[in-house]
Structure 1
Amino acid sequence: MILLLFYLFLALFVSFLCSIMESVLLSTPIPFLNVKEENGHKSATTFIKLKNNIDRPLSAILSLNTVAHTIGAAGVGAQATKMFGELYFGIISAILTLLILVFSEIIPKTIGARYWRKLALGSGKIINIMVIITFPLVIMAGYITKLFSRDQNELSVSREEISAMANIGTKEGIFEEKENKIIQNLIRLGTVKVTEIMTPRVVVTVADENMSLEEFLRKKEFLHFSRIPVYSNNIENITGYILRQTVFEKLAEDETNLKLKDICREIVIAHEFQTLLNLWEVLLEKKEHIALIVDEYGGMDGIVTMEDIIETILGIEIVDERDQVIDMQQYARERWNERKAKYKFLYNSE
């Protein structure tokens, strides 16, 4: 009877331990371990090494689990036959199968999948011991798996998975809706083209570089914008941009005869196929706030400002205390529609 209980305990306990370790190993994400490692948990470093070479710990766990099942089942069957005879062998086998299924598969794997946060850090050492115990089997399994698998550098996580995790976090109350919106917008930043958020050419307010500062001041339409592109001869030939603040400073110094080209600044050029992320990096590097978007022929397509990109990330319209108009792009479009209505015949004939 003692041997029967010993083999039963061996089959159930070792298998229970293997199953819970397997579940924790597969359920614990690398980012969670990275956070723990940064907080000084050395056991997290051990677990990360196991995750990065997951074939070895899995081979060790499955090998030990199989050995426990085999020896336990054989031992229980042999002892049960001696004690109760072959007549009850089938019944005992059925009971053992049910016990193994419930107590060494369903329950431990459920526990591991549900409580991996609490079990992860302590599981690394146990799994390492399993790897040492079954080392010959692990090495052999490693050679076998190499025959059927190719070395592929697969991404551990994709943009879509991060997006899905953020959505799940919002549903579970970890993130607020606004935070989730920012995360989703950041993920898309590398795929959204600059043309999707630019202010189109037809509604961009531009100024002639030969215009004097005094003339500039008299045109109220310019006062709505802090940065205004300037052109030479025609709008297709943008030569740079001027700062409204610089105009005011020069006027305060009575330099009214200066022309816009005298205070013109170089403008960043971006092509229509560039992404927002790329343009964002360029603007930060050059410490600029505005970019001219050009088409494949070098003609003006529109403009994008740093504010436009930030608004895209935040998903809101940024307004400061000096803004008289909330949505500048919408304001520009409304002005364009008014101009079309006023000169209806001219625009219909184009």
Structure 2
Amino acid sequence: MRLSLKRLYRILALILPLISAVPVYAVGLNNLNESVIKDSTDIALLITYVVLALGVSFLCSIAEAVLLSVTPSYIEGQKEKRPGRAALLKRLKLDHLDRALAAILTLNTTAHTVGAIGAGAKAAVIFGSTWFGVFSAVMTIMILFLSEIVPKTIGATYWSKLVGPMALFVNALIVILYPIVWISERLTKYISRGKDVHIFSRDEFIAMASVGVETGQIHSKESRMIQNLLRFESLNVADIMTPRTVILALAEDIKIIDSLKKITQNPFSRIPLYRSNIDDITGFVLKDDVLIFTAQKRGDEKLKTLRREIIAIPMSVSLTALLERFLNDRQHIAIVVNEYGETSGLVTLEDLIETIMGMEIMDETDDVEDMRALARKQWIKRSKAMGLDADILDRNRPESENSPHPRH
């Protein structure tokens, strides 16, 4: 809900008369005699102390709430619209937050202390000891609501409307109270030395994405993508690869026409080629090339005629590095090898996209049977989505682990 300035003015117009009415209300409670009522100077000073104490504290509390509510993303967004404001907010919130808070709290504490001493002294003269306790209780309640709860609620709720004037106010406070601010800054740096303070951690961003779904600010799919992107760097190729036991690979020496049936039954456009076994991957062929050669009556040629180079990557490579490699080399497929150079699996650009979009990811602690079952489950799901017969998987599965298997 956006704040109109008229609404804010109405709130302040209701609060300020209450501040002024506190001592007058307390005066009425005491059935003051005529001599006390005539002492207008003491009453005026009492009202002045109360109004100044609560008013200054009200302003400081709003400034503190606004400053703490400003987000780094808001500051970044203001760089083009209002570069001056963005620079000031960056200095106050991101670079020297301790200075700003020290200035605000110094003025706020001073207002409370001076106000309490001055108002207490005048209240004792005006009311005497009989009603002084009542005045103190009323004053405490007013301080609680009018210098803490109400202003901080306003500041936290409507910070985007108040951030401009509050930033100028806090900046002026830092200049005026600089000696005290300087001492406070040195003290806080001494206490927090060696501590690396982050504005937001990776886990906090992930939690914010979940909260965004609960509050209706973002869609569940968007939240899932954000969380997957934040976890992207912590995953490696082994977490998303298709294991070797369910890879469809063809011998490079077979004729194109002999491979046509398996290739057309396979929904994927790139099929790895091997020389002697699946541990000796030499490249891959495009389904389109196979179909074109078949249409050109060149089906008697060997598959290696159409062979294209394929990159090999270790299992430990991060997904971020793999994505960068794919983009730089303009590749869509890679063979995953273990420390002995044996084929462990296959990974594609599609796998990376599925990871970002929220597909199920194999955990590195899963055993071979679990990975095989998961890969087969994904194959069946894709086959149904493409309108294919999922039983093709079982009909084409060889018995030997080193033989080619469907799916990549």
- Could you tell me how far apart the structure 2 residues matched to 1:259 and 1:343 are? 25
Distance 1:336 1:236, change over 3 A: farther
Give 1:176's aligned residue: 219
Of stretches 290-299 and 153-162 in structure 1, the one that deviates more from structure 2 is 153-162
- Could you tell me how far apart the structure 1 residues matched to 2:391 and 2:261 are? 21
Secondary structure of 1:234's match? Answer: coil
1:4 matched to 2:46? yes
Give 1:139's aligned residue: 182
Distance 1:210 1:222, change over 3 A: farther
Secondary structure of 1:266's match? Answer: coil
1:114 matched to 2:169? no
Give 1:297's aligned residue: 340
1:60-209 pair list within 5 angstroms? 60-209=103-252
Q: Deviation string for 1:105-164 (max 9, x for gaps)?
A: 111112222222322233211111111121111011112222212143333212221122
1:17-32 pair list within 5 angstroms? 17-32=59-74
- Could you tell me how far apart the structure 1 residues matched to 2:255 and 2:115 are? 95
- Could you tell me how far apart the structure 2 residues matched to 1:85 and 1:261 are? 106
Alpha-carbon offset, residue 343 of structure 1: 5.6
- Could you tell me how far apart the structure 2 residues matched to 1:197 and 1:60 are? 52
Q: Deviation string for 1:202-243 (max 9, x for gaps)?
A: 111111122232333354566533101111111111111111
1:327 matched to 2:382? yes
- Could you tell me how far apart the structure 2 residues matched to 1:332 and 1:194 are? 29
Contact preservation (8 Å) 2:257, 2:300: yes
- Could you tell me how far apart the structure 1 residues matched to 2:275 and 2:293 are? 21
- Could you tell me how far apart the structure 1 residues matched to 2:399 and 2:306 are? 33
- Could you tell me how far apart the structure 1 residues matched to 2:307 and 2:173 are? 71
Contact preservation (8 Å) 2:263, 2:287: no
Runs of 4+ in 1 over 6 A off after TM superposition: 329-333
Give 2:86's aligned residue: 44
Gaps of 5+ in 2: 1-42, 361-378, 404-408
Secondary structure of 1:174's match? Answer: coil
**Count of aligned residue pairs for this structure pair:** 338
Alpha-carbon offset, residue 25 of structure 1: 1.2
- Could you tell me how far apart the structure 2 residues matched to 1:143 and 1:313 are? 45
Contact preservation (8 Å) 2:225, 2:358: yes
- Could you tell me how far apart the structure 2 residues matched to 1:54 and 1:219 are? 65
Contact preservation (8 Å) 1:203, 1:336: no
Of stretches 46-55 and 85-94 in structure 1, the one that deviates more from structure 2 is 85-94
Alpha-carbon offset, residue 253 of structure 1: 4.6
- Could you tell me how far apart the structure 2 residues matched to 1:28 and 1:334 are? 57
Q: Which amino acid aligns with 1:73?
A: A
Distance 1:254 1:339, change over 3 A: closer
Counterpart of 2:76 (choices 21, 28, 34) is: 34
TM-score w.r.t. the length of structure 1 is 0.86
Secondary structure of 1:296's match? Answer: coil
Contact preservation (8 Å) 1:268, 1:292: yes
Q: Which amino acid aligns with 1:58?
A: L
Distance 1:82 1:218, change over 3 A: closer
- Could you tell me how far apart the structure 1 residues matched to 2:153 and 2:118 are? 27
Q: Which amino acid aligns with 2:44?
A: I
Counterpart of 2:326 (choices 280, 283, 297) is: 283
Give 2:35's aligned residue: none
Contact preservation (8 Å) 1:159, 1:187: yes
- Could you tell me how far apart the structure 2 residues matched to 1:147 and 1:184 are? 36
- Could you tell me how far apart the structure 2 residues matched to 1:44 and 1:227 are? 50
Of stretches 178-187 and 96-105 in structure 1, the one that deviates more from structure 2 is 178-187
Alpha-carbon offset, residue 336 of structure 1: 5.3
- Could you tell me how far apart the structure 1 residues matched to 2:200 and 2:331 are? 34
Give 1:313's aligned residue: 356
Distance 1:78 1:325, change over 3 A: closer
Contact preservation (8 Å) 1:44, 1:121: no
- Could you tell me how far apart the structure 2 residues matched to 1:105 and 1:154 are? 27
Secondary structure of 2:308's match? Answer: coil
Gaps of 5+ in 1: 318-323
Alpha-carbon offset, residue 92 of structure 1: 2.8
Contact preservation (8 Å) 1:21, 1:61: yes
- Could you tell me how far apart the structure 1 residues matched to 2:389 and 2:322 are? 22
Contact preservation (8 Å) 2:380, 2:390: no
